Structure 1
Amino acid sequence: MPKSTLFNTFKRILKRACLDEGLRIHSLRHTYAVLMLEAGADIKFVQEQLGHGSVQITSDVYAHISKKLEKRNIDRYEEYTANILGSNNLKSGDVWGTPQKN
């Protein structure tokens, strides 16, 4: 398919969808990657889908984009460490089940 056909079709789609006609078709690639990561897809899978040479490239480009990813990873870490400590009842500031004194 000629590039011009692809780009012209994409412009028509943007217009019909009342989206900014200045969006580049490459934006679809970025959107796909971010949505996949936010949905919980493994970064290795996303790397293969995008055809990047390494996971590091994918991570460098996309991992910092979404605050959802950051929050999800922090939540997973907190849940994991709470399970290690044997209590899901630990409150912020508790260390090994003993409240901190201020």
Structure 2
Amino acid sequence: MYYKFIVIISIIQFAREDGSPLPKSTLYNTFKAALEHISIDPLPIHSTRHTHAVMLLEAGWSMKAIQERLGHESMQTTADIYAHISENFEQKSMDKFDDFMKSREK
């Protein structure tokens, strides 16, 4: 069976070839089967949303851009959920810069 997805204003809608929406159960069952296939314990499908947001942070996206991508009503919602991750990246960046500066002193 052929499936495609359509990106509309940062919202992914999974659809059949004719454009009609897939039932939620199809996506859930496919995700569950994929996890079983690679021997990973079951995860809620919503966890992929969080993984995506973290990957955007790792790629250097701004919190505002991530808020818009995820469709949160306010940036504060996004910041409340992901600020601790952003702080970790900031600390790692500062550590890398500090190491760089120390290497230049030698």
Matched, 1:55 2:87: no
Tell me the number of residue pairs that the alignment of Structure 1 and Structure 2 aligns. Answer: 78
**CA separation in 1, counterparts of 2:31 and 2:25?**
10
Aligned-residue sequence identity (percent) comes to 51
Greater fraction of residues in strand: 2
Note the C-alpha offset of 1:6. Answer: 1.1
Larger Rg: 1
Which residue is equivalent to 2:32? Answer: 11
The TM-score normalised by the length of structure 2 is 0.63
Unaligned segments of structure 2, at least 5 residues: 1-21
Q: CA RMSD in A?
A: 2.4
Instruction: Find runs of 4+ consecutive structure 1 residues off by over 2 angstroms.
Output: 65-68
Q: Which is bigger in relative contact order (C-alpha 8 A, separation at least 6)?
A: 2
Residue 29 of structure 1 pairs with residue 17 of structure 2: no
Equivalence map 1:81-100=2 (5 Å): none
Offset of 1:67 from its aligned partner?
Answer: 5.9
